[in-house]
Every structure is written in structure tokens, then in C-alpha cells.
A and B are shown apart, each in its own frame.
Chain A
Amino acid sequence: MKQKFQILIVDDDVELASNLQDILEAEGHSTAVANDGQTALSHCREKVLDLALIDIRLPDMSGVELVGRFSKLSPRTEFIIITGYASLETAIESVQQRRIIAYETKPLDVEHLLALIRQIIERKQAEQKLLEYQELDKMKSDLLSIVSHELRTPLAVIKGYSTMLVDYDKRLSLSEKRADLMSIDRATDGLIELVNHLLDMSRLDSGLLRLKRSSTSILKLVQKTIAEAQLRHPEHTVMSAVTKRLPRVNVDAQRIRQVLDNIIDNVAKHSREGTKVMVEAKRVGSELQISIADQGRGIPTEELEKVFDRMYRIEQRVDPKVGDAGLGLGLAISKRLVEAHGGRIWVESEVGRGSTFFFNLPLDTGKGGNHRNEEKSKKEHTGHRR
């Protein structure tokens, strides 16, 4: 959280302004000086300022007037008025107005001023924290009500079909019973996935998720993923194009597999039967790029960034054909997992044509990996080959 301020000093006393500047910079703040009101206003248009120290008497306007115009342009800036004893009353009055938080009298008591600034910083930090807590609180209660809703749907299937099997045992045929049991089984899988996603998200949130990196062949990983994805999605054609001789990467194979699965399941869900899902992996500069392209409906531009938000699915109206029972946490988790590997993830899309999800992983993944791999990759770099 912010410890240092962007401070603007507005005073036509050049020497005093410069002295103040030295003192505040020595405290670690960034400062700028304006010698009149107009210059001060142009400063505030250029930069976000946390605090302005304003002399009550400026060549072109009064300090109080400047505060009025300033605060309209930059509502988050705090103001301290600097005044001589001659204008003390005006200064006190101005503090009683809302925007100006304090006045300081000339000659300036530097210690007092610095203490005041520290106070302001503390208050701003507290306000910021409060805001964050409020947001967190809201998110928690939203999540709770969503989780409750999403748990009830598979539970309804399990409870419903199992009691039906008991109540109407004699009137149901064997194949009906079998179908009912399979419904129960699918709902159970849904519940397991839900719990896993929640657990992953909470581990990612609290930083408890540890990557188990090892040297991994992306070619093999993609091939295995695709073979299994094809079984899960017989209604789609899942294909791959992987550059041979891709260097091995130092990743948590299971987690990267999870990212791929999440994205493939997601695009399969959002594209019609019979369409293709194309998985590609290639080297792009110093990164490995994996892309998953669908022939689905596409995502409107304004929603592209939100796709990876954890509440994305919840906020939009759910498509009936998607039939998706889940929290929509899959992509949010994928983003965090890719980022934990030092990579990035994004999606490009054209409405009506389809979407392509990309994620890049650094090929040199020394950071956070284990030392042996790090050394090995270094050797390969400088080594005998070539």
C-alpha cells in the first residue's frame, strides 16, 4: 500500500517552495512546484496528485479559490493551506469547508507539517483497507449464495433420482433404473468438480498452492490431453498441431494439464456439436505458446477481459444450451495457474466465428523451479552443442 505521496507545492515564494521540496523529497515523497494557480491546475490535469500544499495568497488567484477549482478536476487530492498570520481567519474558515483538511502557518513548522502528512497517509491507508474489506465481504456473500445455488442443482438430481428409485422400485424398468443411476453419478462428478474448484481457488487466494515443477515434454502432454478430451467430447473433433522438437519446459505438468482441460471443456461447452477444437503449441521468442481455438459463437469485445473473472459466468445470463452446472471458476483458476508459472493468458475472439485462447509460458523457467533443472537448462544454453 502507498507510503509515499505525489505532492504539489503551490507558492510564489520560490525559496520557500524549493526548501519544502527538499524536505519532502528527503522523506521519500515525489514533489512538483507551481508558482501560481494556473500552473498548479495544469499540473493536476497531467498527474494524479495525492496532496497539494497551497499558499493562501497566489499571484493570480486566492489559495481557497484554487482549491475549489482543483478539487473539481482531481477529487482525490487532499489540500493543506499555508498561511501567514494576516490571513489566518480566512484559512480557518476554509478548513471548515469540506475539501481543505488543515492549515499551516508561516513560518512553517516542518516537523508539524511532516507529522500531518504522515497522518493523512495513515488515514488514506485505513480508508483503502476498509474499502477492500467491504469489497471482500460482498464477494464472500455473493460467492456463498452462488455456491449454495450451484450445490443445490446436482444435489437435486441425486436426491430426486435416488428417492425415485426407492419409491417406485417396482414400477421402473431395469434400463430406466440404470439411466437414473447414471444421472446420479454425473451429478456426483459435478459436485466433485465444484469442490475441487473451490479448493483450488481458495488455495490460490491464500498462496498455499505450491507448483511441483519438473522438466516436461509439452508434446506428450498435449497429445495425452487431446486424446482424453476427445473421449470427453465425442461431439467435437479435437485436433492438435504441435511443433516437434519443442524444448522441455519446467512446469507443474498436472497444473498445466488442468489449464488445458479447463479451456478445452469450456470451448467445447460453448460451441456447437460437430465443430472443431484446435490445440496448438509452438515456440514464440523466448516463450512457449499454447492456443486453443474453437468454432463457437465468439465473445463480444467488451467481455473479453471479463472471461477470466471468477464471477463471469454468474454475471451473464446462462445460455440454455450450455447446460452448465458449475461456478465458472475454471477459467479464473486457469489464469491464476498460468500466472503462477510466470506466464500470461488471454483470449482473442470474433463474434460468430469463434474464439482462440492463448497462454504463454516462459521457456526459461528458472525462477521458483528447483535448482537442478535451472542448472541443466543453463548448460544447454551455453553448452557444447553448436
Chain B
Amino acid sequence: MKRNQRKSILVIEDEPEICEFASKVLELEGYEVLHAEDGNEGLKLVREREYAMILLDLKLPESDGWVVLEEIMADQELHRIPVVVFTATAEISQRNRAISMGVADYLVKPVSATRLKEIVAHVLRQER
């Protein structure tokens, strides 16, 4: 894994400080991180290159996180990318909905750096 091809992760998150936190942890873990501040930008970036994983907030401006999730899951190619939801919405109904749509994991904020790094490593290991 540690040869030249670093794995890329797309972070779609509108809160700048949380986006920076997630990006920083993932970069420290050796991933390449790209980020989008809203749903539209996220959908644009996701089609531009290959990603090993997407970290997705649900409450987003422009296209909501759910819209992004639906589009990704409906796309023949994109739906193979594991999506980890990273949200402040703790309701079980929302969680179930996301799981039924096929997300790899559903993380409720707050999440420690340790846990974020473990979950991402776990999801990526399963993917191989």
C-alpha cells in the first residue's frame, strides 16, 4: 500500500473546522485528501477522479448529503466507492435509512481522531 499510489479520500463537509480536522487526521495517516464544502461541489469532485473512500456529512448546503448519497448509490461506477457518513444527526431512523442505502459506516459526531482513523482503516481493508 505504501508505494507511490497513495489512496485518495474525498471529504464532503461544510463545517470548515470539522472538515479540517478530518482532512488532517487522514493526511497524517498517509492518505491523499480532497474536500468539498457543499453537495454540488462534492458531486463534481467525485466524478473527476478515483477515490478509495468518501467521508460524507449529511446536512449540507446546495445539494443535501442525502441527495449526494442517492446519486452516488445510483451510479454504476460510483456506488462501488465505500461511503462513510459523518454526521451530527443521531436519530436511529436516519441511521437506518443510510445503512439501507448501502453506506459502509455511520459515524455520529463527535468522533475522536483515534476512532476516525480506525474506521477508515477498517473500511479500506474490507475493500481490498
What is A's interface to B at a CB cutoff of 8 Å? Answer: 145, 148-150, 152-153, 155-161, 163-164, 166-168, 171, 183, 186-187, 317-320, 323, 325
Cross-chain contact A153 with B16 (CB below 8 angstroms)? no
**Separation of A213 and B16 alpha carbons in the complex (Å):** 41
- Majority DSSP secondary structure for residues of A touching B: helix
A150 to B109, CA, bound (A): 10
The answer on a CB contact under 8 Å between B108 and A152 is yes
Given contacts A148-B90, A149-B89, A157 and B17 within 8 Å (CB-CB): yes
Contact A163 B113 (CB under 8 A): yes
Whether the Cβ atoms of A167 and B16 lie closer than 8 Å is no
| Cα distance, A159 to B117, chains bound together (Å) | 14
Shortest A318–chain B CB gap in Å is: 6
What's the nearest-Cβ distance from chain A to residue B115, in Å? Answer: 8
Given known A-B contacts A159-B111, A325-B15, A320 and B61 have beta carbons under 8 A apart: yes
Specify which chain A residues have a CB less than 8 angstroms from the CB of B20 in the assembled complex: 183
Nearest 9 Cβ contacts at the A-B interface: A159-B110, A156-B109, A152-B88, A320-B61, A163-B112, A160-B21, A163-B113, A156-B110, A164-B113
Given contacts A152-B90, A152-B110, A153-B18, 19 further A-B contacts (CB under 8 A): A148-B88, A149-B59, A149-B89, A152-B88, A155-B110, A156-B15, A156-B21, A156-B111, A157-B17, A157-B18, A159-B110, A159-B112, A161-B21, A167-B113, A167-B117, A168-B25, A183-B20, A323-B14, A325-B15
Q: A229 vs B65: C-alpha distance in the bound complex, in angstroms?
A: 35
Q: How far is the CB of B9 from chain A (nearest CB, A)?
A: 16
Q: Is the CB of B17 within 8 A of A183?
A: yes
Are B111 and A160 in touch, CB under 8 angstroms?
A: yes
Residues on B facing A (Cβ under 8 Å): 14-18, 20-22, 24-25, 28, 37-38, 59, 61-62, 88-91, 108-114, 116-117
A183–B117 CA distance with the chains assembled, in angstroms = 20
Most A Cβ at <10 Å: residue of B15, B37, B62, B88: B88
Count: A-B pairs, CB below 8 Å: 80
Residues of B within 8 A of A163 (CB): 112-114
Q: Closest CB-CB distance, A109 to chain B, in whole Å?
A: 56
Chain A nearest CB, measured from B86 CB (Å): 9
A336 to B108, CA, bound (A): 34
Q: A153-B18, A153-B88, A157-B17 are in contact. Are A167 and B110 (CB under 8 A)?
A: no
Of B15, B38, B109, most buried by chain A (CB within 10 Å of CB) is B109
Decide: A155 and B109 in contact? CB cutoff 8 A: yes
Closest to B21 in A: A160
Docked complex Cα distance between A157 and B90 (Å): 17
**Smallest Cβ-Cβ distance to B110: which chain A residue:** A159
How far, in whole Å, are A187 and B20 apart by their CA atoms in the complex?
14
The distance from the CB of B94 to the nearest CB of chain A, in whole angstroms, is: 10
- A317 contact set on B, CB distance < 8 A: 61
| B88–A156 touching, CB < 8 Å | yes
